[in-house]
Structure 1
């Protein structure tokens, strides 16, 4: 499959042959073919001949069409808006490849927008949020119109590029999902809704007789303050359990501070205490919706068996949606 990279900041593009088994990359200088909102990566099955990639790349073909904004004509094309962390975006793409290639399935063509300016804006928002601990909403009252406008601009660009659905593999960006998706001609999948529906379909049973199903949520202050995980889970009938102020102050925040000091063992021990505190409150599972928290523990840690990553749910839901589109085509 072919991947092309074009950036407004750098007059280069990267061509690569990638699948779930191997990848090969090559970079060269070239004039820009299109003018995307920032960096763009597009992947299609248009050509399997790397030597002829200049002629067969989706960017070059798009420039020859009457409507040069259309990069993808596939029924199962996906648009991806990168967010706070490029690492998280790449992690999501890896999950997407894994789930789409199961049972011999084909890889999914996509267009990815990645914007360093947006990365910084989201990072500033996440660092500046302290409303969960202090009870104040000062950060939430600030004008986030530039972030929303940036996200909407990318959503519109992806629509015009031929995406049949759009995803935002970013925990923080979902704080403005409604505003970003408003007016979209294609579905904009919601990570919180995806994980809530998967948990509902899992037919979990309460750990305590006569009690409701409880789901724990661990996330940054910005994400918890936005409240969309609480809303989506409650809509499915779950009781949402969040870490209390004492847990945040004495285990969650210190664990992240230890991580920043590169005290990995200290960070892991504190985070394990955080998970155990929630599990003692009879939660069935814990949603870890944070870049920093997600990778604190090794993959084989027994506590992670009680946790879910909403990125997995978003990737699976994306594949299911696109498969349904293909089936109805």
Structure 2
């Protein structure tokens, strides 16, 4: 594999595959490049066999750490400047990835909350739509506390009936009408709890969030991560070079 010499983004993806593809599309859209050659070089490790992150955090499945470290080390050897992980729940493990590779991992959680605060001056209470695994880790609550934001979640029944069901539907490739309605219902429950804006804090949710965005202003965590990557790496005077190298993970389990 050819190593690139320009500042290069590594994407540790496959969690799920559609969310990874959506993140790369958004990255390209948000790069203010005037030509193909001015876009960021990107290396993608997309291994859908990474064990389920929520199941692991709930003690119901194997740890994803070995698979995540394998992918991160592949990106490290390829010479990436930093790594984006387009999966909120996987951020429970980013410190382990950084220690294992010495490569900076962009903070999707902080990026999403900073975007919310920037878009709404005086913001105090942020609603979060996330997996049970992300909720369990308290990732958004801790990041919100550092930024002076109160983070609120949906109730347990709403999580199970609407949010979890919607995420499963997207991962299964279901038609979007029903899961989009479920996410809008969950967003309404957050508004009733005093949320002034909502973060789509699972990378499947932005794919079904158009109705929810009419209930509350919505921050897309995928967008926030893409903007953070562009801010970190893109420079107007970047020299032409290879625009993209893609490889999918070859693990079988």
Do structure 1's residue 270 and structure 2's residue 182 form an aligned pair? yes
Structure 2: any 5+ residue segments left out of the alignment? 239-253
Instruction: Give the match for residue 156 of structure 2.
Output: 245
Aligned partner (choices 300, 313, 324) of residue 224 of structure 2? 313
* Shift, 1:203, TM fit: 5.2
The 1:285–1:179 alpha-carbon spacing in structure 2 relative to 1, beyond 3 Å, is same
Do structure 1's residue 116 and structure 2's residue 48 form an aligned pair? yes
The whole-number CA distance in structure 2 between the counterparts of 1:250 and 1:114 is: 29
Aligned partner (choices 153, 176, 200) of residue 70 of structure 2? 153
The 1:246–1:228 alpha-carbon spacing in structure 2 relative to 1, beyond 3 Å, is same
Instruction: Give the match for residue 15 of structure 1.
Output: none
Do structure 1's residue 79 and structure 2's residue 6 form an aligned pair? no
Structure 1: any 5+ residue segments left out of the alignment? 1-58, 63-70, 132-136, 207-212
Do structure 1's residue 216 and structure 2's residue 122 form an aligned pair? no
User: Aligned residues, how many?
Assistant: 236
* Shift, 1:104, TM fit: 6.4
Instruction: Give the match for residue 37 of structure 1.
Output: none
Per-residue CA deviations over 1:36-91 (Å, capped at 9, x if unaligned) read: xxxxxxxxxxxxxxxxxxxxxxx3xx3xxxxxxxx1111x2111111311111111
Report 1 or 2 for greater relative contact order, CA contacts < 8 Å, sequence distance ≥ 6: 2
- Identify the range of structure 1 (193-202 vs 307-316) with the bigger mean alpha-carbon deviation: 193-202
* Shift, 1:318, TM fit: 0.5
The whole-number CA distance in structure 2 between the counterparts of 1:159 and 1:326 is: 25
Contact 2:130 2:201 in 1 (8 A): yes
* Shift, 1:161, TM fit: 1.2
Instruction: Give the match for residue 7 of structure 1.
Output: none
Instruction: Give the match for residue 322 of structure 1.
Output: 233
TM-score of the two chains, using structure 2 as the length reference: 0.79
* Shift, 1:114, TM fit: 1.6
For residues 1-329 of structure 1, what are the structure 2 equivalents within 5 Å?
59=1, 62=2, 71-74=3-6, 76-101=7-32, 106-118=38-50, 121-122=51-52, 125-126=53-54, 128=55, 137-139=58-60, 144=63, 147-182=64-99, 184-202=101-119, 204-206=121-123, 213-253=124-164, 265-297=177-209, 299=210, 302-303=213-214, 306-323=217-234
The whole-number CA distance in structure 2 between the counterparts of 1:112 and 1:263 is: 27
The 1:306–1:228 alpha-carbon spacing in structure 2 relative to 1, beyond 3 Å, is same
- Identify the range of structure 1 (182-191 vs 160-169) with the bigger mean alpha-carbon deviation: 182-191
The whole-number CA distance in structure 2 between the counterparts of 1:153 and 1:326 is: 33
- Give the RMSD, CA atoms, in angstroms: 3.1
Contact 1:96 1:319 in 2 (8 A): yes
SS in 2 for 1:97: helix
Contact 2:82 2:105 in 1 (8 A): yes
SS in 2 for 1:182: helix
